[in-house]
Amino acid sequence: MTNNDIVVAGPRVIPGIRTYDIFSMMLNTAVMVLPFLLARRHLATQEAHVQLLRAFVAAGLVYSLLILIEIRLSPQLHRWLYGFHAHLFGQQVRDGGYRPMVFIQHGLRVGLFILLSVLAAFTLYRERVASKSAAGKLRGARDTAASPPQRAALAFYAFLWLFFILFMSKTLGAFMIASLFLPIMFLTKARHWRILSMVFALAVLVYPMMRSAGLAPVDRMYEFAQSISADRAHSFKFRLDNEDILLERASEKPLLGWGGWGRSRVYDPVSGKDLSVTDGTWVIVFGNAGWAGYLAQFGLLTLPAFLYMSSRGALANSIVTQGLCIILVVNLIDLIPNSGLTPVTWMVAGALLGRYERRPRGDPAKPAPRRRPSRDAPAAPALRSGSQSAV
């Protein structure tokens, strides 16, 4: 009940948080984490992770056909079916062409979805290549399905096609993330991917602190955006300016935030006009719930990346599971500039946490130290041949 005060900005009056609102927020939180809990229970195996990756690839391939239509004809499918555009049409015009939206709210989310499909296809390709040696032992066996080498080729073709679709989607941020992660994933083994996941998960978790202290390299990123496109640099600068005023507003209640009803936004004190634009999920959560809510939500999402750093054996070398962890971290990186938090994000996080919790006993995070036999312990008597042990 730290937000029961009324926010007044000119003619705009926003009421304080009531007891009813508290229960409403609790219900919304329970619904939000439901995919996480279900995936933690039912998608916590190697086979389930393979199916998740296949689902990403299959959905990306199906959606790629609709994306090609909108690349050629402009984002019109949503208007043709529902009678209106899901977002401003002008924001989808890029570099003399169009950024497709299909049936998703914004073209940026389409780019994120295709990016995750690209990473899933590449992970499946690496997994199929790694299984060729095992498949060679079964060459003589009859199998009506495609052999592992053939499945590797199919995964590679799917990866190339989806990467082409990502490039044509004109989403610079998603393409830059792919250009950063794919070479590292190609040149390193799966057990090294967990280091990559942990580093970026940590960066996401402490981003509000770095942003407030001026340690985030946003100026260099702005200069890089200027070297590519003036329009994209202007869009990026607009986001940074809004983050600054929203962070200043959030600093007034840094621990628990302002609560809901738009109380964390910035309004003109005379006209009451909303002066802020919230793009990133992180700044929305940080403004509404403060550090407590941010660490609770993003801490739960980044937890698998930290846990897998301590994994050993088969779990650390699992291409499928470590690739799925990369997909989760990439989605979290996108939550800094954009609001791409979906139930799929929670589902992937839950599946990863469940797999870690079910790791084999012979594959502990920290192997137990070997116990040396005591010198004073009596030696066990030798059993005679033919004698039976008592039960």
| CB 90, CB 82: distance < 8 Å | no
Between CA 239 and CA 332 the distance in angstroms is 18
Between CA 368 and CA 377 the distance in angstroms is 21
Residue 21 has pLDDT above 90, yes or no: no
- The pLDDT confidence band at residue 134, using thresholds 50, 70 and 90, is low
- Residues 275-328: pLDDT tens digits? 888 889 999 999 999 999 999 999 999 999 999 988 887 888 899 999 999 999
Average pLDDT over residues 165-175: 91
Q: Could you give the angle at which helices 281-308 and 343-357 cross, rounded to 10 degrees?
A: 20
Between CA 188 and CA 197 the distance in angstroms is 13
- Residues 328-374: pLDDT tens digits? 999 999 999 988 899 999 999 999 999 999 887 654 445 555 555 55
- The pLDDT confidence band at residue 115, using thresholds 50, 70 and 90, is very high
Residue 259 CB partners (closer than 8 Å, separation 6+): 3, 16, 17, 21, 25, 288
pTM reported for the whole predicted model: 0.85
| CB 175, CB 134: distance < 8 Å | no
